[in-house]
Amino acid sequence: MITATAVSGPEPGGRADRAALVVEHLTCTIPGPDGSELRLVNDVSFTLAAGRTLGIVGESGSGKTMLVRSIMGIGPPTTSVTGSVLLNGRELLHLPRRQRRERLGAEIAMVFQNPMTSLNPVVTVGRQISEGIRAHLGLGKREARARSIQLLADVGIPDPARRFDQYPHELSGGMRQRVTIAAALGSDPDVLIADEATTALDVTVQKQILVLLERIQEERQMAIIMISHDLGVVSGRTDDLLVLYGGQVAEAGPTRHVFERHAHRYTEALLRAIPSLAAEPHGTFATIPGTPPRPVAEFDRCRFAPRCAHATDACTAGPPPWVADDGNRHGHRCVHPSDPAGAR
């Protein structure tokens, strides 16, 4: 199991010295249209300490969103989830719905990709922030309003008292996303999940949001899970990285190691597809041929083999084993690993 443990922070026993989230063997399945079982997330494990940031990357359909929705327990009604999710040392996955709702928002919160779909268009932004605060912290209406206005100020929204009484359509896209972050932070959660939180924003606002998350994390020592299909977003803003493919961890480890010493051919293909300023003008972008695999319940070969130029019979002889090094902090599932630095 790859861990994302804290390496620096307050004195032992402080918030950043413990594991905020421990996920073990998480598997998520749904029934297929033909009655078969579709496994969207397959045996994923990781540990995330307070104050640390874990990046989860992969193509659309790789299982990133279903992984965190399974952790939160907000997947489709037909979803079946097995495994274990320890949040602050207490099991979250198998709690009754009411007890789970009490912990969602209070201990773990989520910022969604599109604020226009996560915010209610007919309810003021202030009410949408203060409702969670009143539910989890037990504050009165006046106290919740004051805290909400302060949160709006904390996330960089000018004139927060006036914005409190406005509706989502009256705000810009960047400001709406800041509102969703303020709502997520209302109960001071230990873990914040940012699911493609900057994808729908232009690059200038995207940077502002990423800097904002970094500042808030430093102030509150939260653990953050940052989901993205853009490796450029996670490269300098995460401590550890999970590369998902077909619902399974293809490679994982410290972010710098994964970028500089990546082993899985899928990780190599993702990195090759990043646009570069050094590329020839009007040239073609590098792409990954083929399409992601159908999430059938069992794979009898490497999931990436049909799209990999380096695949051999050994790749289709059976599922590739997990190979770990660096004290079990960096691992991969690849029969023919790449050698970017000549070290493998």
* Average pLDDT of the chain, as a whole number: 86
CATH code: domain of residue 6: 3.40.50.300
Question: What pLDDT, in 10s, does the model give residues 140-157?
Answer: 999 999 999 999 998 889
CA distance 41 to 28: 5
Q: Which domain holds residue 70?
A: 2-107+189-243
286 lies in a domain?
Answer: no
* Residue 270 vs residue 295, higher pLDDT: 270
Q: ∠ CA 219-222-228 to the nearest 5 degrees?
A: 115
Q: Count CB-CB contacts under 10 A for residue 311.
A: 17
* Alpha-carbon gap, residue 104 to 329, rounded angstroms: 29
Helix (H) or strand (E) holding 79, with range, is none
Q: First-to-last CA distance in the chain? A: 21
* 77 belongs to a structural domain: yes
Exposed (0-12), middle (13-18) or buried (19+): which is 17, by Cβ within 10 Å?
A: middle
Nearest to 142 by CA among 119, 126, 122, 125: 126
| Predicted local distance difference test score (pLDDT) of residue 114 | 79
For residue 127, which of 84, 88, 164 has the smallest C-alpha distance? 164
Q: List, in order, residues 6 or more apart from 207 with CB less than 8 Å away.
A: none
Structural tokens at position 246:
């077909």
Strands (E), the chain: 2-4, 19-31, 37-49, 53-57, 80-87, 90-91, 108-111, 191-195, 223-228, 240-245, 248-254, 323-325, 330-332
Q: What pLDDT, in 10s, does the model give residues 214-260?
A: 988 998 899 999 998 888 889 888 999 999 999 999 999 999 999 99
pLDDT at 200: 66
Token code pair at residue 39: 């496994």
pTM (2 d.p.): 0.88
Backbone phi, psi, residue 337, to 5°: -65, 150
Q: Of 246, 322, 301, which Cα lies nearest the Cα of 38?
A: 246
Contact 335, 264 (CB under 8 A): no
Asked if the structure places residue 140 within a domain, the reply is no
- Name the CA radius of gyration of the chain, rounded: 21
Q: Measure the CA dihedral 266/271/273/278, to 10°.
A: -160
Least confident of 255-259, 261-265, 269-273, 277-281: 277-281
Is residue 232 in some structural domain? Answer: yes
Q: Which of 320, 335, 338 is nearest to 262 (CA)?
A: 338
pLDDT score at 52? 95
**Domain total for the chain?**
1
In a domain, 236, yes or no: yes
Residue 179 lies in a domain: no
Reply yes or no on whether the pLDDT at 4 is more than 50.
Answer: no
DSSP state, residue 296:
B
In a domain, 214, yes or no: yes
96 within a domain of the structure (yes/no): yes
CA distance 277 to 330: 29
pLDDT tens digits for 163-206? 999 999 999 988 998 999 999 988 889 999 998 887 767 788 88
Residue with tokens 């300490």: 49
